[in-house]
Chains A and B, each alone.
Chain A
């Protein structure tokens, strides 16, 4: 196993489709909830402890070898918004392509065969981490970090926010990211004994509602 594979998987330029998604930031900007670096930080903190924690636990469980089909159903159950479920599957499909090209593996092939239109992105991320020789903590870190780096990058484009301020937000969230990743891995380990009901089910209702609102706009910069 190569620890450096984590850098490849977590790189914002890993070609897995994330650049076209704002992680809810476009809706939050339009609604006036993100207007500055400070409100971006609040938004990211909320997302990290809800969607980020769930994604981290799903990814860690998949990296531990929990049955992807069960995890995918658990992800559906934890994602009320149909628009967000659709976005998660599209991103999962895109990640699948990049992961199979990067770390060819029978498990990834099997997952692609079972979900030709895409499984939830964190599930694919966990299986990809496994294929790359990485562990559950690595997968959880990737998923949790993506839950905040996506909105931060999108906000730089949407508000012309100073990119140094946006990066500062991410750096300040790092200690919380550590705690979320730890909690995610702990939950994932419990899944091995207790099943997928042990996964966290935190959710941000405004994120879900915002995603439905955003999906109905005729004109938008980001896909979600």
Chain B
């Protein structure tokens, strides 16, 4: 039930594709995955790749600091008013899945204050393999793992690996040093995910975030259609 067509004031609910004024809201993409897998580095690289063609903003969900937001500010990937940090009370998965209200406020405030926006990236605090984003918060989600966390992670599966709209296996440059078998990771991911896409990337070497950026552009095209 959408009361907003008859009443004024901010929207009652969250997942509506339109803002209270009737315009289409920004596409929201979540990035989740274990601690240190490269979520913030991927967000930073995506901002650099897309900021000249799109109006962008970022929400971070640190577990107990503002490190991710501060890293993005320090790297100057976006102007400061386009980066918001949400505090998660020791439970990052709760803030992106079970009780998304603080994150929804953050994305809505960004649209109000720096909009119109095409895309908002929401980074989850590093968590475990079961952490996924609510559909009420994001339109699509990327799960970022890395080769150094063990090459058996795709085989172990879990909701993030199995159901994310895009699985990113990051830090492929480290594979030789940690003895990770990329072919095996690819085969296991394929077995878990069937037709869902998987990208192997290293942000330390060309072409860096190119494949993920292309995937994001594809989602945006579908969203705007």
Contacts and interface: CB of A to CB of B under 8 A. Distances in A.
Contacts of A20: 87-89, 91, 94-95, 102
Nearest to A20: B89
Interface stretch (A11-19, A53-61, A122-130, A172-180): A11-19
Interface in A180-198: none
Contact of A218 (B7, B65, B90): B65
A6 B63 CA distance: 31
A110 B8 CA distance: 8
A147 interface: no
Given A15-B100, A109-B3, A109-B7, A223 B89 contact: yes
A221 B63 contact: yes
B89 A97 contact: no
Interface stretch (B10-18, B42-50, B153-161, B167-175): B10-18
A30 interface: no
Interface string B197-216: 00000000000000000000
B89 A154 contact: yes
B9 A17 contact: no
Contact of A112 (B9, B64, B66): B9
Interface in A77-110: 90, 93-94, 97-98, 100-101, 104, 106, 109-110
A37 to B, nearest CB: 19
Contacts of A114: 9
A94 B9 contact: no
Given A94-B102, A97-B104, A222-B89, A19 B13 contact: no
Contacts of B8: 109, 113
B99 A16 contact: yes
A94 B101 contact: yes
Nearest to B66: A218
B10 A112 contact: yes
Interface size class of B (residues with CB under 8 A): 20 to 34
Given A16-B99, A20-B88, A113-B8, A94 B105 contact: yes
Most buried by A among B3, B12, B98: B12
B9 A113 contact: yes
Contacts of B12: 97, 100-101, 104, 109, 112
Contacts of A223: 87, 89, 102
Interface string B101-112: 110110000000
A15 B66 CA distance: 23
A33 interface: no
Interface in A13-64: 13, 15-22
Interface of A: 13, 15-22, 90, 93-94, 97-98, 100-101, 104, 106, 109-110, 112-114, 116, 154, 157-158, 218-223
25 contacts: A13-B98, A15-B98, A15-B99, A15-B100, A17-B99, A19-B91, A19-B99, A20-B88, A93-B105, A97-B12, A97-B13, A97-B14, A98-B101, A106-B7, A109-B3, A109-B8, A109-B12, A110-B9, A112-B9, A112-B12, A113-B10, A157-B91, A218-B65, A218-B66, A222-B90
Interface of B: 1, 3, 7-10, 12-14, 63-66, 87-91, 94-95, 98-102, 104-105
> What 8 A-B pairs come out closest when comparing CB atoms?
A113-B9, A20-B89, A94-B101, A100-B12, A223-B87, A15-B99, A109-B7, A221-B90
